[in-house]
Amino acid sequence: MLKIKDNVDLKELEKLGFRKHKQDEENILVSKWIREWVEADSIDGYKCGSDGWNFYPLLKITNNLEIKFCSYWPWDLDEANKILQDLISKGLVEVEE
């Protein structure tokens, strides 16, 4: 399991775009959200849904500092890996068994 080190200042996570979002559950310390443009489905000629930005969490850090990948879209894996690599390169992550 990947975890944020105990001695990490939250300001370091904020520099990487993590923050507490109003949609986060109570057990979430901070999270990193992503957005993508979504086109309404109109393949059958009838518009279903709406066009616009879709916001959703990509990574969450729980109150016990566990890092959780929470997106259900496979194309978000690259973005999550980049963020994890940033966290690792800054020495903010530890592996716990």
Whether residue 82 is contained in a domain is answered as yes
Decide if 9 is inside a domain: yes
Q: What is the pLDDT of residue 50?
A: 76
Greater pLDDT, 49 or 38: 38
Does residue 71 belong to any structural domain of this protein? yes
| 37 band by pLDDT with thresholds 50, 70 and 90 | confident
pTM, entire model:
0.82
Q: Assess if residue 76 is contained within a domain.
A: yes
What is the Cα–Cα distance from 62 to 39, expressed in whole angstroms?
A: 32
How far is 43 from 45, CA to CA, in rounded Å?
6
Inside any domain, residue 91: yes
Rounded to 5 degrees, what angle do the CA atoms 27, 60, 79 make?
Answer: 175
Tally of structural domains, the chain: 1
In a domain, 41, yes or no: no
Instruction: Using alpha carbons, select from 71, 68, 39 the residue that is nearest to residue 53.
Output: 39
Please indicate, yes or no, if residue 10 is contained in any of the structural domains.
yes
Residue 36 and residue 18: Cα distance in Å, rounded? 18
